[in-house]
Amino acid sequence: MTDTRSDTRFDPGQADLRWQRAWEEAGTFSADSASPKPKSYVLEMFPYPSGRIHMGHVRNYTMGDVLARYKRMRGHEVLHPMGWDAFGMPAENAAMEKGVHPGGWTRQNIETMKAQLKRIGFALDWTREFATCDPEYYGHEQALFIDLYEAGLVYRKESEVNWDPVDMTVLANEQVIDGKGWRSGAEVEKRKLNQWFLKITQFAEELLDGLGKLEDWPEKVRLMQENWIGKSSGMEFSFDLSNGDTLPVYTTRPDTIFGASFVAVAPDHPLAQSVAAQNCDAAKFIERCKRGGTTAAELETAEKLGFDTGIGAKHPFTGEYLPVFIANFVLMDYGTGAIMAVPGHDQRDFEFATKYNLPILRVVAGKPEDADLPFGTEAEPGDGVVVNSGFLDGMSVEEAKAEVIARAEAEKWGQGTTVWRLRDWGVSRQRYWGTPIPFIHCGTCGVVPVPKEQLPVTLPDDVDFKTPGNPLLRHPGWKHVDCPKCGGKAERETDTLDTFVDSSWYFLRFASQPADKPFDRDEVAAWLPVEQYIGGIEHAILHLLYARFWTRALQHIGLLDFAEPFASLFTQGMVTHETYARRAPDDGRLSYFLPDEVERSSDGAVLKADSLPVEIGRVIKMSKSKKNVVDPDAIIDRFGADAVRWFMLSDSPPERDLPWSEAGIEGCGRFVQRLWRLFASLDANAEGEDKSLERKAHQAIAAVAEDIEALSFNKAVARIYELTSAAEKAAPSASRNFAVRTVLLLVSPMMPHIAEEAWAGAGDGGLIADAPWPVHDPALLVEDEVTIAVQHMGKLRDTLTAPKGAPKEDLEALALASEKVQRSIDGAAIRKVIVVPDRLVNIVT
């Protein structure tokens, strides 16, 4: 290799920028849809432009980048795009808090983050870049929304919502914390509002069945989606109430009907509301429930609370009247909003019955003789044999379910049915910074879609955020329009779409970007499904479920030929770091400090500013609020992009969390220089063979390819370390040159800048980014030599190299010829020689 510089160290500050410019000028990573090569679509979940990228972004995109570069080397036409999930509340919050426009704030953040991503040298097709806040993008989204409306998959209805009276917006259940708005801290109210919905429930069965075909998705993600969809088979029937009414309930366990000891309804159930209208204590209890958690997860862990309505529910078999409670753990949007409570076999019912001293009856046991076994501290929801249940006694759980349903249907007081946890997707948001919902409200014509030739319906720029609430409602002119049907005065819809809609089809727009429609069907079909999708586990349910639904909905209306958007999914671990904090002496509150502000030693940590101790906290996910973040730019300035990329791939399996380590990144920086010295040692005039080293190189070629394809990057890194060490130790030869060049090619998807610099120095011409992956010789993957351990009286005395499969007599002769073995035997008579082929020789004297 010819080094054109006097400095023998690799200078990433110069090389990184030089090769990034070279790739950009050559259009190296621009995907060609017309290419005859096999197509490969590699995609990482696109980021929200919050201001700066963090190490979690770096890890995520480095993994995808290695795969994309590798696929190009294997002869694929690779689509590896980047864009911005740009709508949402953070931008609107910034507008309120900083007095800036959400659009300007977002665009500035995009420019900053784009520059940061380019500094890391990702092989991205920037020609396809877009932000979801681009009118061109969301105009096509509006057209698709109208298409779904015309297909009957979009509707509008009155629905109860969580309303934040300070921010004046609807909140998702997950945004209500202890009954308060996540941002404002205000007491959340329940309100009835007209909302727009997407009919995701129409595809519930398809979405559930489709999970079984996603073999290259993590099992935990498929299970999370399965639970969220929540298909359950059971029975719906009605209790006759003591007040003359009837109460429909749904149960998944009709086999336990003889174990029912009370009935419970949700706080917003009509029966509860009726009782509250006559009883102020009931009304107060319902108000208390509204201030509690709203998610199923919160209700699962919250204290179980109830109010006895004084009404009885007649048991359909025993005739006994069971007390009816209003209970905080019953959800109105599941089943009928009322439950038959069986404390012995449901933990929530068990906790409630324990609190209110209600009977806990055993109706399922491990075996019949356990019918009178007392309960411990928890319910027993498992399988077994039915007991204490009259005509059901001795049946299995499934037999008893079928028998109860059969009797209920024969006697016409109940029926078997299937219930889904999944609810239609409410997409209305009373916010400015989102895609305007493309509909017009006319007093004469009703709800009318905006004509497609008038799309996009763009957001007005002249809005005021000084007053809480949706600025579109207060805008003097934007919402006032003529009805496209009758020409009369009308108003635009002022709600905007949930930002999850924006991310439910962006992968289609990356693949195809015609001006006159959202995408070209044939071009999309050539690229999709996405071959490899990479992102965090936090998106396992909503984003991935909505994207699966949206793809199916577009297939349903004839715009797509496939149902699943992502063939393979990988959820990477987080980048973590310990925290540094100090408690305030007055109230004990913690103030956090950045790692750069702290000096760490074996004795602990001190703040650089005052040399006083700080508390070292747990190693947790990097978080701006905890300040345990490391700025990628600062690390790249010190060590270069390749060292950062190598660190992200090296230590931890990619699905596990990666603890950030100063020593680790320094070690990666040293390895970059070590590689540079190795590449500089190429000797074009070297001759001779080293068969063992050549074998190691061919084995590395095959193994690293296999590891990258399996996303086992840490294993690929380990194999490159091994081959590097072997090449460093080898004497100059043509075989060593081959091994060094192999290291260069294998490392190029991971450390592309040093690889390009060395490739240019070696005089190969062109870019290593365009070079093919090295070809291995399958014959050299099989070891033809083995290491034999030689023992005397069971103790290791020597090791020998022998041909694989050598005869026992040859191994015995080799062992006895060893000087070390002869010294150990010291003339003693040999009684026996034990030979284990290809493994060991043990000499007994």
Spatial separation of the C-alpha atoms in residues 438 and 696, rounded to whole Å? 62
Spatial separation of the C-alpha atoms in residues 510 and 528, rounded to whole Å? 10
Secondary structure element (H or E) that encloses residue 196, with its range: strand 189-198
DSSP letter (8 states) at residue 512: -
SS3 category, 651: coil
Spatial separation of the C-alpha atoms in residues 79 and 31, rounded to whole Å? 5
Spatial separation of the C-alpha atoms in residues 369 and 385, rounded to whole Å? 10
| Residue type present at position 397 | V
Enter the tokens of residue 226: 């399965």
**CATH class given for the domain over 683-781:** mainly alpha
Q: What is the pLDDT of residue 13?
A: 93
Q: CA distances (Å), 758 to each of 8, 104, 244, 734, 743, in order?
A: 12, 42, 87, 18, 11
DSSP letter (8 states) at residue 619: E
Residue listed under structure tokens 């998944």: 252
Q: Please, what's the b/e burial string for 734-764 (b: 16 or more CB within 10 A of its CB; e: otherwise)?
A: bbbbbbbbbbbbbbbbbbbbbbbbbbbbbee
Name the stretches of the chain with pLDDT < 70.
1-7, 172-175, 292-301
Mark out the alpha helices in 464-614 (DSSP H runs).
471-474, 499-502, 506-511, 521-527, 542-556
Pairing mode, strands 338-341 and 840-844: unpaired
Residue listed under structure tokens 């029926």: 415
Spatial separation of the C-alpha atoms in residues 799 and 50, rounded to whole Å? 60
Give ranges for CATH 2.20.28.290 in the chain.
Answer: 576-639+656-667
Q: What is the pLDDT of residue 5?
A: 39
Spatial separation of the C-alpha atoms in residues 771 and 768, rounded to whole Å? 5
36 contact partners, CB below 8 Å, separation of at least 6: none
Domain 576-639+656-667 has CATH 2.40.50.140: no
SS3 category, 535: strand
DSSP letter (8 states) at residue 396: B
Give ranges for CATH 3.90.740.10 in the chain.
Answer: 231-416
SS3 category, 540: coil
Q: What's the burial of 140, exposed, middle or buried (CB within 10 Å: 0-12/13-18/19+)?
A: buried
Residue listed under structure tokens 């596990």: 656
Secondary structure element (H or E) that encloses residue 62, with its range: helix 55-73
DSSP letter (8 states) at residue 320: P
Spatial separation of the C-alpha atoms in residues 191 and 268, rounded to whole Å? 12
548 contact partners, CB below 8 Å, separation of at least 6: 207, 210, 563, 564, 565
Spatial separation of the C-alpha atoms in residues 499 and 503, rounded to whole Å? 7
Give me the half-sphere count of Cα atoms (radius 13 Å) on the Cβ side of residue 784: 8
Round the CA-based radius of gyration of the chain to a whole number and report it: 34
Within the chain, what is the greatest distance between any pair of CA atoms?
116
Each residue's pLDDT tens digit, 215-247: 999 999 999 999 999 999 999 999 999 999 999
| Residue type present at position 313 | A
Spatial separation of the C-alpha atoms in residues 667 and 639, rounded to whole Å? 10
Beta bridge partners of residue 125, listed in sequence order:
81
164 contact partners, CB below 8 Å, separation of at least 6: 170, 171, 181, 183, 184, 186, 188, 189
718 contact partners, CB below 8 Å, separation of at least 6: none
Whether 840 and 806 have beta carbons less than 8 Å apart is answered as no
Backbone angles phi, psi at 63, to 5 degrees: -60, -50
- Could you write out the three-class secondary structure of 429-479? ECCCCCCECCEEEECCCEEEECCHHHCCCCCCCCCCCCCCCCHHHHCCCCC
Whether 286 and 326 have beta carbons less than 8 Å apart is answered as yes
Q: What is the pLDDT of residue 1?
A: 43
Spatial separation of the C-alpha atoms in residues 112 and 96, rounded to whole Å? 22
Q: What is the pLDDT of residue 2?
A: 41
The CATH architecture annotation of domain 144-211+425-499 reads Beta Complex (2.170)
Beta bridge partners of residue 163, listed in sequence order:
170, 189
Spatial separation of the C-alpha atoms in residues 577 and 618, rounded to whole Å? 8
Nearest residue to 428 (alpha-carbon basis) of 501, 334, 331, 518: 501
DSSP letter (8 states) at residue 330: -
Spatial separation of the C-alpha atoms in residues 598 and 579, rounded to whole Å? 10
Domain 785-844 has CATH 3.30.43.10: no
> Angle 256-260-262 (CA atoms, 0-180°, nearest 5)?
155
Spatial separation of the C-alpha atoms in residues 77 and 91, rounded to whole Å? 36
Beta bridge partners of residue 655, listed in sequence order:
none
Q: Is 319 left (phi over 0), alpha (psi -120 to 50) or beta?
A: left
Q: Model pTM?
A: 0.84
Helices (H) and strands (E) in the chain, counts: 26, 35
Whether 657 and 639 have beta carbons less than 8 Å apart is answered as no
Q: What's the burial of 271, exposed, middle or buried (CB within 10 Å: 0-12/13-18/19+)?
A: buried
Enter the tokens of residue 564: 């699943």
Domain 231-416 has CATH 3.90.740.10: yes
Spatial separation of the C-alpha atoms in residues 642 and 19, rounded to whole Å? 12
Each residue's pLDDT tens digit, 677-708: 999 999 888 989 999 999 999 999 999 999 99
Give ranges for CATH 3.10.20.590 in the chain.
Answer: 785-844
Whether 155 and 197 have beta carbons less than 8 Å apart is answered as yes
Q: Is the dihedral of CA 27, 31, 33, 35 positive or negative?
A: positive
Q: CA distances (Å), 843 to each of 212, 515, 640, 812, 825, in order?
A: 58, 81, 56, 9, 9
657 contact partners, CB below 8 Å, separation of at least 6: 573, 574, 575, 576, 621
Enter the tokens of residue 571: 């959820």
